[in-house]
Amino acid sequence: MRLLQQLIIAASFSLIGLSAAATPAEPVEGVEYNRLKQIQPTDSGKKIEVLEFFWYNCPHCFAFEPQLAEWVKKRGDTIVFKRVPVGFRESFVPQQKLYYTLEAMGKLDTVHRAVFDAIHVGRVRLDKEDAIIDFVEKQGVDRKKFLEVFNSFGVQSKVARVAQLQALYNIESVPTIAIDGRYVTAPSMVGANLRGQSEHAMHAATLQVMDALIARKK
């Protein structure tokens, strides 16, 4: 009996030690991030590739966007940042095409945030093609040109590629961040050890984890 009690106590201290070790500045694998079983190729040269898997309708992606965008600006000389609009269901496709059309037209800087605001602040439904086209036209985007790109082979190919990326990175929820084709983290993972903290604090901690993983690289 005494031996069993000692083993239980030892196990408890081990768990406490693991919890204490898992901090945003010193993230622990399996706690605040996961390592991909197979390293994915990147095309970012000497810089570190950072992917954000997101969905325009996701309130957590909307909440994360301002802090993430500011982080990207600060990290601009060391990373190549790419967003990946997920497609968990067929109904996601119009917004995927919206994102890649804006990207192809060089309109992301001016319209990307406006899409988030329209959905989450203005309560505008932007999940159908007609509504999307009407919206972007109000943002000053040429309707005819947008339609051409929206239905182009290039945009369709990028949407098809997303399904492959989701499988390769094992994406089950958003927002999720992939670092250097090696690591995956998310506010939902980091926040598991920050119960009671605000969403803003969880996002700040996630960015710290991302910084640590970039510094680690391998």
CATH number at residue 50: 3.40.30.10
Report the pLDDT value the prediction gives residue 217, as an integer from 0 to 100: 65
What is the reported pLDDT for 216? 85
Q: Could you tell me the two tokens for 169?
A: 């990175």
Give residue 13's pLDDT. 39
Q: Are residues 96 and 113 in the same domain?
A: yes
Instruction: Classify residue 12: in a domain, yes or no.
Output: no
- Answer yes or no: are the C-beta atoms of 120 and 130 closer than 8 Å: no
4 within a domain of the structure (yes/no): no
Q: How far apart are CA 141 and CA 28, in angstroms?
A: 45
Same domain, 95 and 160: yes
Say if 15 falls within a structural domain.
Answer: no
- 212 found inside a domain: yes
What pLDDT score was predicted for residue 22?
A: 57
**Residue ranges of the chain whose pLDDT lies below 50:** 1-21
Quote the pLDDT of residue 12. Answer: 43
Q: How many CB atoms lie within 10 A of CB 89?
A: 7
User: Is 175 found in the same domain as 82?
Assistant: yes
pLDDT in tens, 46-73: 999 999 999 999 999 999 999 999 999 9
- pLDDT recorded at residue 14: 41
pLDDT for the residue numbered 151: 97
Range of the domain at 204: 31-37+46-86+171-218
